[in-house]
Chain A
């Protein structure tokens, strides 16, 4: 597996073991009620996993983007209630690549800066405006803010104490807070080439594709187990053809989503992966819709209860589907790319992806 996917097998094993220990059904449920899970974060941080793919000399844990995405896949698989993507491949990436210090605790990042204004003076920026749906802002040690000022992409490293944070949640009860900047002043520095709002948008989509692939796979496996255990009419319901349809559809979407996310990760780890990431996010978005429908149906009423864990995954998927680009955004991007290739180049795009767009 290591050879085929480029992922360090030790990363997979260790992360899977860790989350199996600390993220059982009850722990995830408790985190939702409390709005945070400091013990889970501590266990995660102790391994150094949050900072994989950030260079060690920048305060990270080293390793590749592939390893970091594999951890995110497992975060999704276990519904781990922690800001893993924000601290690592998103916020950590922005801070490290623009020379900011990486703090010891969780990092978050503004998903966009559409309603933020920034003025830069020397190595400081002054921020105004409000950003909604900021993951885990309430527990973050720094908030990474990516803005364009006079055509230059800049990253500010904001101390959350300088902002007003209103706790909000997504459909899975994960913190998605509203952050209000009212003249907050933060250290600012310019981005290196290749880091800008567009590439950040794609990276955000890639992080969600990895999380979603994990969650869909877990849902599919729960469904197979449940329908083989559940007896009705004297036999496991999985023996009924009508139920088999849902099992197969769930497994297909899990396979498709993981293939898409892993292939996009492979290309992103090498360089330009606009096509693969756009396709992976659209695929995982739609896979989430189809898989949640199939898996819920196969579970019957049990899947609609809080006591059974299916909802940890399905509610996250419904939320993540809309983060860093819903169906319409990526569908439009891909449609424009396809039409730009013309009939003669259409299949070459399907087989060659970003390499033919370069």
Chain B
């Protein structure tokens, strides 16, 4: 394990400035309610505008509509979007992971069908992993795909499916052959499923504050054609693990409360709170600077062709805990009874952080599971 310090090149700093200018023009402060990191609103028009600039699916090859840019370039765009609280929800999953997975494991026909549309910012994807009886023990999934003429018949249930009610496609981890004794990782495959398929039913699982992000997706004899099998049959576990490596360690794991913190500074300026804020912000900027440098070095490592899974697990575990720590510090120091319908934007955002951030250390793999992954990788280092 080694996090080598890195920094942005002139070209990369230029991209950073372009993104900042874009955001200043499209979403000047005060013109929109900032989102809290990747739990962002879906705004297809905004996604299309980003795509016009080549900032969606930007690391995908040009022949498939991408921009052949690096993981660091994508890091820069994502970082600026998230700290601004931009509504990146529509293209988020496709941009972060689905595009990569289709490029890596998909057929030519699938690449042709999906990648250019992803890069145009058109397609929204959901992820189908958890089930009622399979959470952290993901390999125990039991939703079945059984072969039929030219395709598969699916029966079962997926849960915690973010955005299924608004998205177009669903990448699902399914059991394509019965569980064998002692090897539950075998017999799993990934299928691309149209969320409008007959027999597929989507019902909301209301979030604790009543908002609608999660869904339960029920498959009742849903037909999926052979051409929608992603990658090789039986390789679903391996592909899924690869996919999860893309979703760890990026700015979405440590920037979620930034827009709240920034808004506090805006509202506290010139008030009696300013001194309290100054006490708090020293530690905040130092930690953000440090964690950002670790996260950036992971992106740089990806560009050298490495798969830094231990490093990204460490950053995700630390980053998501840090997000919660930031909120706790705000709550501790700012003696205001905040509420979701306050006139103050800071108070509204803080209320939303308090209510939603317990999920940050759960989504995409609980921190307990991440620790298990990372600590196994730490073994064998020199002492």
Residues of A within 8 A of B (CB): 1, 4-5, 221-222, 224-225, 228, 238, 241, 244-245, 247-248, 251-252, 255-256, 258-260, 262-263, 266, 275-276, 278-279, 282-283, 286, 327, 330-339, 342-344, 346-347, 349-351, 353
Contacts and interface: CB of A to CB of B under 8 A. Distances in A.
A338 B269 CA distance: 12
A353 B290 CA distance: 11
Interface in B260-315: 261-263, 265-266, 269, 274, 277-294, 297, 311, 314
B285 A224 contact: no
Interface string B184-214: 0000000000000000000000000000000
Q: Is the interface of B mostly helix, strand, loop or mixed?
A: helix
B383 A221 contact: yes
Given A282-B283, A334-B286, 19 more contacts: A225-B383, A245-B371, A248-B317, A251-B1, A251-B374, A255-B3, A259-B294, A259-B297, A266-B7, A334-B285, A335-B280, A335-B283, A337-B285, A342-B269, A346-B265, A347-B83, A347-B262, A350-B285, A350-B288
B285 A251 contact: no
Contacts of B292: 350-351
Interface of B: 1, 3-8, 16, 29, 79, 83, 258, 261-263, 265-266, 269, 274, 277-294, 297, 311, 314, 317-318, 368, 370-372, 374-375, 378-379, 381-383
Contact of A238 (B8, B79, B375): B375
A258 B282 CA distance: 19
A283 B286 contact: yes
B379 to A, nearest CB: 6
Contact of A333 (B4, B5, B282): B282
B3 A258 contact: yes
A286 B286 CA distance: 11
Contact of A256 (B83, B262, B294, B317): B294
Nearest to B80: A347
B287 A330 contact: no
A241 B280 contact: no
A241 B83 contact: no
Contacts of B83: 347
B370 to A, nearest CB: 8
Contacts of A336: 278, 282
A1 B8 CA distance: 17
Given A238-B375, A282-B283, A346-B262, A221 B382 contact: yes
Given A335-B280, A351-B292, A241 B285 contact: no
Contacts, number: 150
Contacts of B375: 224, 238, 244, 247-248
Given A244-B371, A346-B265, A330 B282 contact: yes
B377 to A, nearest CB: 9
A282 B261 CA distance: 19
Q: Which of B16, B279, B287, B375 has the most CB of A within 10 A?
A: B375
A286 B79 CA distance: 25
A332 B279 contact: yes
A262 B117 CA distance: 42
B286 A282 contact: yes
A282 B282 contact: yes
Nearest to B287: A283
17 contacts: A1-B4, A4-B5, A5-B4, A5-B5, A256-B290, A256-B291, A260-B290, A260-B293, A278-B286, A330-B282, A331-B282, A335-B280, A338-B278, A343-B29, A343-B266, A349-B285, A350-B285
A203 to B, nearest CB: 18
A241 B371 contact: yes
A335 B281 contact: yes
Nearest to A327: B283
A247 B294 CA distance: 18
B282 A338 contact: yes
Contacts of A225: 383
Contact of A334 (B5, B281, B293): B281
Given A343-B269, A350-B289, A241 B372 contact: yes
A339 B6 CA distance: 27
Nearest to A287: B290
Nearest to B83: A347
Contacts of B287: 283
B320 to A, nearest CB: 12
B375 to A, nearest CB: 4
